A and B are shown apart, each in its own frame.
Chain A
Amino acid sequence: MSTSTDVTRPPRRRTPSTRARQDARTGLALISPTLVVVVVVVVLPILWTVSLAFQEVRLLDLRTAGVVGDYTLENFRDVLTSDGFLTALLTTLFYAVGGTGLAILVGLVAALALRRPFRGRGLVRAALLLPYVAPVVAAAFVWTTALNPQYGVVNAWGTGALGWEDPIAFLSSRSDEVSLLGLRLEVPTALLTVIAFEAWRSFPFAFLFLTARLEAVPDTYEEAARIDGATPTQRFRHIVLPQLGPTIAVLCVLRFIWTFNNFDDIYLLTGGGAGTEVVAVRVFTYLTARSDIGAAAAQALVLAAILAVLVTTYLKLFGRREERA
């Protein structure tokens, strides 16, 4: 803890009043239970991860491994050069960018569509939030069932009403050929499906944030623009969108952080198969199936480090601009 004093507050008096001293003591006493829990269950374990990442530890020799051990960079070398790590990293990146972008886009469309009041809007809003609040395990199970090639409703309708030649194995096919306007394209089917799932689950989050922000946008600017002859799209482009800019930027960071580290969705949908292995799922595999704790810790650290670099870069590039705007 640093000793920096709060600059916004007036300088402290030389002898703090009895009440101020009492408050300080009470404050520490009230906060300490939470602080202890957070330090013991979050902070110390993270420090331990760092330590584990630099040791050769397997689950079997856990009882003997301590904080002081033989430190080595081997885990990182193994992890970085191992098959599949780079692919997993690229998959993670693609997944995070796609999921974040799609979720924010759908959330924006929803927020705009529900902007003007109508009867039953409150109910529609609440209904749109369901994918976000529903338990991920149940949601994933419904999706895997619906997308199942044998008894899922999507393929039943696709092969029936839509005239697909064969059922599509949405969650177990690495890639499929799609002909679009005469072009034949290879698409990563399973990866796109998990991105769609991620967008479905988290668009309500973007929708909520953007709705809250839209309600704070004063009508006067748009009214003025309308009188000056600006069409709806022009008003959106030049008046509403700039006002939403900072919120969208915050959403990008938040959603990206969470999607980048997401484990649940992909583990439940594909188990990491069919070209959807993201780093979080890989960490889990190393931790449980392979009991290679050192490698798991090293990969988790690399994941966190890359995330930190990306978020910092983003904030450096865009944070300044938003402030000026």
Chain B
Amino acid sequence: MSASNLRNTVEERALAVLRPVVIGLLLLVALVPFYYMVVLSFRPLDSLVQDPGRMWVGLSEIDPATYADVLRSVDAGGQGFASFIRNSLLVAGGTVVLSLLVAVPGAYAVSRLDFFGRRQVSALFLTVYFFPSILLAVPLFVFYTRIGLRGSLVGLLLVYLAQVAAVTIYMLRNYFDTIPVSLEEAAAIDGCSRLQVLRRISLPLALPAVASNALFVFMIAWNEFLFALLFLVEDRDSWTVSLGLSQLAGSIEVPTTTLMAGSVILTLPIVVLFFLAERFLVGGLTAGAEKG
């Protein structure tokens, strides 16, 4: 008894010390790379080369010129990130709008309406979600080359739409499932058609889920790399921010500090969106986690 008591005390003391240490370490591991990114984006290049181990930037040497340089157009001697941002916004925003237009009615149908093949359709969407994108890359690359859509933002948008449609339907369906049917039935008795029910009752109720889904889709499209690389790499004017950064990272001419400014520009919108919508998103990310 006393031996186990002793063990209990020892373990509890050890854990009381370990817990904050572990939390601190995890925070360091998760955050230091981002801190490093911001610090380097403000440090002058020669100071970085002379003293690579320094993890802070002196107030006097803060140099926002990297940001100006990375954003300026190529004609003006910069790296053209402003136009990459425009492209990324077009693609990500377009994906959000299209996916909501297409997927909200679809999710409602899967959740509420008993149509022929409903279960198979759900299963298909789930399979698509887990489908390796590298396997899709081969035929899409070939197909788009053939019909001449490769290099166009519209083509990329279609691919993103297909990739997120399945996730969107899956997430929204779970939410529609939680809305009581009785509300809709009441509206139906009052003479609403299905579409009116969807527009006037279900959609307003599902708005939080729709909003968080929109953010989620935006993040996926903004971060995407493989298809942007496959479709857009040949034409610098249509590069997205992700693609632009990855392409310039390989060249020796662009200073690392300038590209760090580019990395901050690429990361910041996502971090801001994430903290704005963290509560919703976490629910969305684990949708399905609690099912087992």
Q: Which residues of A contact B (CB under 8 A)?
A: 1-2, 6, 20, 22-28, 30-31, 33-35, 37-38, 40-43, 45-46, 48-49, 52, 57, 59, 62-63, 106, 109-110, 113-114, 116, 124, 126-131, 133-146, 150-153, 155-157, 160-161, 200, 204-205, 208-209, 212-213, 216, 229, 231-233, 246-247, 250, 254, 257, 260-261, 263-264, 268, 280, 283-284, 287-288, 293, 296-297, 300-301, 303-304, 307
Q: Which residues of A contact B161 (CB under 8 A)?
A: 37, 41
Q: Which residues of B contact A140 (CB under 8 A)?
A: 246
Decide if the interface of chain B is mainly helix, strand, loop or mixed. Answer: helix
Known: A31-B106, A42-B128. A126 touches B278 (CB 8 A): yes
In Å, the complex CA distance between A263 and B146 comes to 24
Q: Is B174 an interface residue, CB under 8 A from the partner? A: no
Interface size on B, residues (CB 8 A): 103
In Å, the complex CA distance between A204 and B274 comes to 14
In Å, the complex CA distance between A263 and B134 comes to 7
Known: A33-B106, A45-B139, A113-B23. A153 touches B225 (CB 8 A): no
Q: Which residues of B contact A145 (CB under 8 A)?
A: 36, 40, 256, 260
**Mask: chain B, 214-226; 1 = CB below 8 Å from A; 0 = not:** 0000010011011
Decide if the interface of chain A is mainly helix, strand, loop or mixed. Answer: helix
**Is B162's CB under 8 angstroms from A37's CB?**
yes
Q: Which of B198-244 contact A (CB under 8 A)?
A: 219, 222-223, 225-226, 230, 241-243
Q: Which residues of B contact A (CB under 8 A)?
A: 1, 4-5, 7-8, 11-12, 15, 19, 22-23, 26-27, 29-31, 33-34, 36-37, 40, 48-49, 51-53, 55, 102-103, 105-106, 108-110, 112-121, 124-125, 128, 130-143, 145-146, 158-159, 161-163, 165-166, 169, 194-195, 219, 222-223, 225-226, 230, 241-243, 245-246, 249, 256, 259-260, 263-264, 266-267, 270-271, 274-275, 278, 282, 285-286, 289-290, 292
Name the residue in B49, B138, B242 with the highest tally of chain A Cβ atoms < 10 Å from its Cβ. B138
B9 → chain A, closest Cβ, in Å?
Answer: 9
